[in-house]
Amino acid sequence: MAKGDDIMKIVYFGKFKNNKYSELEEKPISEALKKMGHTVYELDVMEAKMEDLIEKANQSDMLLFHDGGLPLGLEEQDELSFYMTLNGLMMLLSKMTCLKVMWLFDRVVGVGEILASRILPTIDCGFFNDDTWVRRHKYPNAYGLHPGTTERPLGQYRKDLACDIAFIGRVYGGRVEVIEGLKKQYGKRFRIFEDIWGKDFDDLCQSAKVIFQPKWLMNDFLWTDQIYHALSAGAFLIHPRLHGLQEEGLDEGSHYVGYTIIEELVAGLEFFLKPENDEKRKQVANQGKSYVLENFTWEKRLEKMISVIKDKLLKKQK
């Protein structure tokens, strides 16, 4: 690690181009690192030349990457392409002398578990959104670290987005049953937004009375980044009750409304959609927004990451 206030030269190997998710992940992470004083070299996983990546990494203090371009999504898991890409990534890492750090946002299951188990022995630190997997496997260099969010201008109310209840995301798997039940019960009051980003997302968070998240694929220490993005946009959020959220200090009832079973979800919707509870709903949304922006920005997450890395290096030197 570089001397002088621990400012580093960081090669950030991510999906910067032709990737809508980069607006939520790579780009704000890069900006946060720069804001912290680090020099960041952005190299795209689809365009960077191997020799350029190795050379730049070996001239820098740290390599930061997520999935390294591996196909981890459920809809894109092809065994041959996965193993070819994994072997290529491991070869790249073996030629680098800088600190090597992975931050994986995906659920660690299937090929994701193969990635984690093969890559962790070859890098200095691995950080995971799936903290359940970290707690179960006890790798000495694996740490739980959830995604962050950014502070941005508050969205605007829009009639074309307005509804009582909004779900943001794809309807598949274990989500289908609960989504269909809400559609049947609430009809046109319930709307689904499968592909909404940027300012439109922020406007929706100010136009829908309630943003709802189903529990499928979540567990006590794994959840999606939507809780941070929705709360930072000032949404009133009804979200599965998870023990890990309590550990993060997110207070049910003050920052969001939690539920465990469907009956509890419906009761929460009915209560907070009553006109006499409009102010209470706005109060919870404002408190959630303030707490998330105080504690879970990308800069805060990266400060924690770098603190862990520094601590690990100090222990190595003893």
Residue boundaries of the structural domains of the chain: 9-148, 163-295
The percentage of residues in the chain with a pLDDT greater than 70, rounded to a whole number, is 95
User: pTM for the whole thing?
Assistant: 0.93
The yes-or-no answer to whether 9-148 and 163-295 have a common fold is yes
Report whether pLDDT(81) > 80. Answer: no
Mean pLDDT of 24-45: 96
| CATH class as words, domain 9-148 | alpha beta
Question: What is the model's pLDDT at position 317?
Answer: 61
pLDDT tens profile 120-138? 999 999 999 999 999 999 9
Report whether pLDDT(76) > 60. Answer: no
Question: What is the model's pLDDT at position 85?
Answer: 85
Angle at 204 between CA 197 and CA 251, to 5 degrees: 100
Report whether pLDDT(283) > 70. Answer: yes
3-state secondary structure of 44: strand
Question: What is the model's pLDDT at position 83?
Answer: 81
CB 53 within 8 A of CB 88: no
Instruction: Report the CATH number of the 163-295 domain.
Output: 3.40.50.2000
Mean pLDDT of 287-295: 99
Report whether pLDDT(4) > 80. Answer: no
Question: What is the model's pLDDT at position 318?
Answer: 57
Give the span between the Cα atoms of 148 and 33, in whole angstroms: 13
Report whether pLDDT(281) > 70. Answer: yes
For residue 148, which amino acid is it? G
CB 64 within 8 A of CB 11: yes
Question: What is the model's pLDDT at position 131?
Answer: 98
pLDDT tens profile 83-124? 878 999 999 999 999 999 999 999 999 889 999 999 999 999
In this structure, is the dihedral angle defined by the CA atoms of residues 91, 96, 100 and 104, taken in order, positive or negative? negative
DSSP category for residue 129: S
The percentage of residues in the chain with a pLDDT greater than 90, rounded to a whole number, is 85
Contacts of residue 83, defined as CB under 8 A and 6 or more positions apart, other chains included, come to none
Question: What is the model's pLDDT at position 316?
Answer: 67
C-alpha distances (whole Å) from 80 to each of 83, 84, 85, 138, 254 are: 5, 6, 9, 29, 48
| Token pair 């605007």 in the structure block, residue | 156
Question: What is the model's pLDDT at position 22?
Answer: 86
pLDDT tens profile 146-176? 999 999 999 999 999 999 999 999 999 999 9
pLDDT tens profile 179-238? 999 999 999 999 999 989 999 999 999 999 999 999 999 999 999 999 999 999 999 999
pLDDT tens profile 46-70? 999 999 999 999 999 999 999 998 8
